[in-house]
Amino acid sequence: MTAPRIVHGGSIAAAAARFGGRPEDWLDLSTGINPTPVALPEIDVAAWHRLPDRHRQDEARAAAAHYYGTPNALPLPVPGTQSVIQLLPRLVPAGRRAAVLVPTYGEYARVLDNAGVAVDRIDNLDAATDAHGLVVVVNPNNPTGRLFDRETLLALHARVSARGGLLIVDEAFGDLRPKTCIAPLAGDGTPGLLVFRSFGKFFGLAGLRLGFVIGESAVLDRIEDGLGPWAVSGPALTIATKLMASDTGPIRDAIATRKAALDAALAAGGLDVIGGTGLFSLVEHPDAAAINHRLCRHRILVRPFDYNPRWLRFGLAPDSAGDKRLAEALADRAG
Amino acid sequence: MTAPRIVHGGSIAAAAARFGGRPEDWLDLSTGINPTPVALPEIDVAAWHRLPDRHRQDEARAAAAHYYGTPNALPLPVPGTQSVIQLLPRLVPAGRRAAVLVPTYGEYARVLDNAGVAVDRIDNLDAATDAHGLVVVVNPNNPTGRLFDRETLLALHARVSARGGLLIVDEAFGDLRPKTCIAPLAGDGTPGLLVFRSFGKFFGLAGLRLGFVIGESAVLDRIEDGLGPWAVSGPALTIATKLMASDTGPIRDAIATRKAALDAALAAGGLDVIGGTGLFSLVEHPDAAAINHRLCRHRILVRPFDYNPRWLRFGLAPDSAGDKRLAEALADRAG
């Protein structure tokens, strides 16, 4: 039996159909994407026209190695790390179980389940045992923001790889916490470690569908074979090549400003932020469902969690008008 | 053991590394892509910024249903039909073999082989038997241009589906031959038929990575599950939605002009065109390898075939300067 598809954030059209308004009337706070996308660099005609050839991929890989600081590996571009999650079942050694540190991004356990892999949803790293041929840790975690330091992850990696297993560290939200990122350690010298990075969240270009995978070449080869040739679009490779070589300081500053404004609006609304990353805040409240409903009537979409009805995840508003709108909706106790 | 990767066309960088010149000095005739890409429509900021949501996908599906003329099915957008070829092994019923009508696009047999599916390379449709749970026909065929009419394919489909099998008809080069396309017949009323369409070849936008799959909803659901959410980029969906609703007459005319000019240049060079489609011509010659080498020294890339050293495939030149350059290179018997 196939597990039901997960309802992710970003479904403005569905929310508008239910609560009214045109999609463009809605304020989308349901994702963890930088709401102030960087200006697009120029895209050459050939990027659109030609199949994205090896040369274009190599340029993106070199730019990513510089940006992620991976001296020992050339990151492999993929059409969103979701595409690699789809391939994870074939990376589980035969007869072994998988462990996913939960709560986290739901697609890991779902894809493994659907492929018939036995999955243990573990709530602490010590629960990863010799039975597990694949262990998944999202760091910093979505939606809790739980963060492990490098030493802790390296100790876990040593345990997992000693048994021939593979540790996946998903650093989709790692761009704002480079010192805790383990990507720089991945490569042929560290077998059994695979790091996922997202391009679209930090740069605010999620529509591009681009991510990178960093690890030993033999595993990257298997992923490349699983995706097939020309998996990533030419415009995505070109944009990444240019933006990863650019000064990202202004992006960091803009995100920090937006995050501070979000947390101020949440505090003014009497909400406790119990976790998050630079790109979202997690709120816990006994009346989370009612708050979510009220926000929807104000045409503001946030992210609830079926597995924890006391939680709501708030993404960053694109501007101070959005912050104000959120604060007003939270203050509308009558709504 | 994994079959070696296939060397496809489009590898200008590799050719330049071997024969010299900068990649931009080369005339690429090695692919079957319209060399006169249509002007890009405006792409809204949200297409780049947001995850491509259901609404954007639905718009592209409706546009594709109109363009492909599929009243019984909404074509599923995919990031290039190559991404679905990667999933084909899971569509072979357990214990059954696959049949691929050869010679054709090499990735079909390669991907099935690599997944451990028993593949028969058949050279006529009658060789597809009850043993085959999956049959692949590329129509018109790449590189030969062999073309079956609808009745022949429907008879094959009746045989394959009667045994619970699946017929794949790859119409990547079908846009210029709509009357022979079987896509309009695919859908829930025709179980066991799956049609692949390519967006980038006809529109000259191969860098986008976009194709469509047309068939019964249950199989499209399995493909969508295999690809995972947000498989196709927002810009690709937006561009397709607009271009598929536009007047494609000028595109057809431009391609026809380019194809006539190609064949004139080949004829002037004394080469026999033995097949092809509107987007490429297949030449047979006992000295094909020497001709290919001469063209490379003139910085013109065409497509040789390791399985038939007498063949060369020529794509369309982008303009009359390209035609002239090809004719001159072919005439250079000393080169």
- Tell me the per-residue pLDDT of A292-324, one tens digit each, with 9 for 90 and over: 999 999 999 999 999 999 999 999 999 999 999
Region B52-76: mean pLDDT is 95
**Distance from A35 to chain B by nearest Cα, in Å?**
8
> Which of A14, A37, A49 is closest, CB to CB, to B206?
A49
Whole-number percent of chain B with pLDDT over 70: 98
Q: pLDDT grade, residue B226 (50/70/90)?
A: very high
Q: How buried is B287 (Cβ within 10 angstroms: 0-12 exposed, 13-18 middle, 19+ buried)?
A: exposed
Tokens of B158: 């009746």
Nearest chain A residue (CA) to B38: A49
Enumerate residues 9 to 38 of chain B having a beta carbon within 8 A of any beta carbon in chain A. 9-14, 23, 28, 31, 33, 37
- Report H helices in chain A: 12-19, 45-49, 54-68, 82-85, 107-114, 150-162, 200-203, 217-227, 234-244, 249-268, 288-297, 320-331
> Which of B28, B55, B225 is closest, CB to CB, to A2?
B225
All residues of chain A having their beta carbon less than 8 Å from the beta carbon of residue B48 are: 37, 40, 205, 207-208
Tokens of A304: 């609830």
- Tell me the per-residue pLDDT of B92-121, one tens digit each, with 9 for 90 and over: 999 999 999 999 999 999 999 999 999 999
Quick count: other Cβ atoms within 10 Å of Cβ A45? 12
Contact B282, B146 (CB under 8 A): no
Q: Does B207 sit within 8 Å of A52, measured CB to CB?
A: yes
- Tell me the per-residue pLDDT of B120-175, one tens digit each, with 9 for 90 and over: 999 999 999 999 999 999 999 999 999 999 999 999 999 999 999 999 999 999 99
The reported pLDDT for the residue numbered B196 is 98
Question: Angle CA(A69)–CA(A74)–CA(A78) in degrees, nearest 5?
Answer: 105
Q: Is B231 on the interface with A (CB under 8 A)?
A: yes
Region A225-253: mean pLDDT is 97
Residue B8 vs residues A121, B34, B107, B275: alpha-carbon distances, Å: 42, 17, 10, 19
Residue A245's identity, in one-letter code, is A
Task: List the single best residue of B25, B44, B48, B208 to mutate versus A (max A Cβ within 10 A).
Answer: B48
Residue B291 vs residues B268, B316, B324: alpha-carbon distances, Å: 14, 17, 16
Q: pLDDT grade, residue B32 (50/70/90)?
A: very high
Look at chain B and count its residues.
335
Q: How buried is B39 (Cβ within 10 angstroms: 0-12 exposed, 13-18 middle, 19+ buried)?
A: exposed
Q: What torsion do the CA atoms of B270, B271, B273, B277 make, to the nearest 10 degrees? A: -110
Q: Quick check: B315 pLDDT over 90?
A: yes
What spatial distance separates the first Cα and last Cα of chain A, rounded to whole Å? 41
Q: Does A229 sit within 8 Å of B107, measured CB to CB?
A: yes
The reported pLDDT for the residue numbered B1 is 47
Does residue B49 or residue A3 have the better pLDDT?
B49
Enumerate residues 235 to 274 of chain B having a beta carbon within 8 A of any beta carbon in chain A. 235-236
- Tell me the per-residue pLDDT of A121-134, one tens digit each, with 9 for 90 and over: 999 999 999 999 99
Region B83-87: mean pLDDT is 98
Q: What letter would DSSP give residue A38? A: P
**Distance from A11 to chain B by nearest Cα, in Å?**
6
The reported pLDDT for the residue numbered A72 is 87
The reported pLDDT for the residue numbered A14 is 86
The reported pLDDT for the residue numbered B5 is 79
CA distance B144 to A254: 55
Answer whether the bond into residue A77 is a cis peptide, omega within 30°.
Answer: no
CA distance B140 to B148: 7
Q: Which of B278, B197, B280 is nearest to B240 (CA)?
A: B197
Enumerate residues 143 to 182 of chain A having a beta carbon within 8 A of any beta carbon in chain B. none
Partners of residue B213 on adjacent β-strands: B76, B196
- Tell me the per-residue pLDDT of B204-217, one tens digit each, with 9 for 90 and over: 999 999 999 999 99
Quick count: other Cβ atoms within 10 Å of Cβ A296? 20
Q: pLDDT grade, residue A1 (50/70/90)?
A: very low
Nearest chain B residue (CA) to A115: B226
For chain A, give the mean pLDDT.
Answer: 95
Number of inter-chain CB pairs under 8 A, A vs B: 161
Q: Does B207 sit within 8 Å of A46, measured CB to CB?
A: yes
DSSP string, A66-130: HHHT-TT--PEEES-THHHHTTGGGGSPTT-EEEEESSS-THHHHHHHHTT--EEEESSGGG--T
Answer whether the bond into residue A71 is a cis peptide, omega within 30°.
Answer: no
Q: Which of A256, A243, A242 is nearest to A176 (CA)?
A: A256
Partners of residue B90 on adjacent β-strands: none
Region A263-279: mean pLDDT is 97
- Tell me the per-residue pLDDT of A25-53, one tens digit each, with 9 for 90 and over: 999 999 999 999 999 999 999 999 999 98
What is the ipTM score, two decimals?
0.95
User: What does pTM read for this prediction?
Assistant: 0.96
